[in-house]
Amino acid sequence: MKVKNKALLGQLSDMDLRLLQVYKAVVDCGGFSAAELELNIGVSTISRHIKDLEIRLGLVLCQRGRSGFALTDQGQRVYEEATKLFAALNGFRASIDEIHGRIGGVINIALFEKTTSNPNARIAQAIAAFVAQAPAVTLNLHVRPINEIERGMIDGQYDLGIVPSHRESGCLDYTRLFVEQMQLYCSTTHPLHEKRDETIQWHELSDYPLAGLAYHSPNMQITHQAGLRRVANAYDQEGVAAFILSGKFIGFLPAHYASSFVGNGLMTAISTQSLHYEAEFFAITRRPNSPCRATKLFMDCLIDAHQ
């Protein structure tokens, strides 16, 4: 598809913002059909809006057809800029609310996956306390990998993140909240299952293929330092669990998340006295920008809930 109209975008209109909102929703949902429920409009209308936006910008934003939905390089750049634009608009609305002495607007919180079931995490309590004090604020909760949360925080996509600590960025402030117990597991069909009650040391695991998270994280740091043989990569902890359950890999999982697999006789912890580590979780906010009142309040609720 070629966009013939190369007219430069002039003054940004309300219609332009609407088209960009539709486009962002399509990208976030992964395609036109997936965005239909999110936007509450039909696929044909969505398609027309995207075409109008391409004409307005003079750019080809995405490829769609039998091969599926995919962004062009230009489309990826427009998506990133639109994300920053809407984050700035939300910040502006929050600032106006502050001038009026009220707490309103939208805050976007990014949470590392498989955190809610951690008994040390009191995020639900923090949400309850926040909503009681700021019922007019819209809360958006995004579950993402660590690297996406950090990038989204720096880009302004998220107002607050909750992640395990692994390497600190000079662009972010960190407030410690709780810890998570990470344990090494294998399936009940794995050779190490028979040795689960023995004291096994790190160096004894070098012959066993390991599955781990593919991005920089405490999981990657620990397994690298221990010299374990990583041969399978997952992009979330459910993926690590699938590898472990295959009986061909060992891997680290949060103890609270793995407990259901253990209880059902599908998975077992290996050498609980030695093959484990703690991951510290932190709330992160952007530096040096001062958070809006809503974000500050949510941070206070998090701290109070975890004291």
pTM above 0.75, yes or no: no
Q: How many domains does the chain have?
A: 3
Question: pLDDT truncated to tens, each residue of the chain (307 aa)?
Answer: 555 555 556 678 888 888 998 998 889 888 888 888 778 888 899 999 999 999 989 999 998 777 778 899 999 999 999 888 887 887 777 777 767 666 778 899 999 999 999 999 999 999 999 999 999 899 999 999 888 898 888 888 899 999 998 888 888 999 999 999 999 999 999 999 988 777 788 888 888 999 998 888 888 888 888 888 889 999 999 999 999 999 999 999 999 999 999 999 999 999 888 888 999 999 999 887 677 888 999 999 999 999 8
Virtual CA dihedral for 165, 167, 168, 172, nearest 10 degrees? -70
> What is the bridge-based pairing of β-strands 106-112 and 251-254?
unpaired
User: What residue numbers bound the domain in which 210 lies?
Assistant: 179-280
**Residue 188 belongs to a domain with what CATH number?**
3.40.190.10
Q: What is the pLDDT of residues 247-258, one digit of tens each?
A: 999 999 999 999
Contacts of 218 (CB under 8 A, 6+ apart): 164, 165, 166, 182, 277, 279
Q: Are residues 247 and 204 in the same domain?
A: yes
Which helix (H) or strand (E) segment holds residue 26: the answer is: helix 14-29
Q: What are phi and psi of 181, to 5 degrees?
A: -90, 120
Q: Are residues 164 and 253 in the same domain?
A: no
Distance in angstroms (rounded) separating the CA atoms of residues 186 and 192: 7
> Is 8 within the bounds of a domain?
no
Residue 99: the pLDDT is 75
Q: CB of 279 within 8 A of CB of 95?
A: no
Contacts of 303 (CB under 8 A, 6+ apart): 175, 177, 283
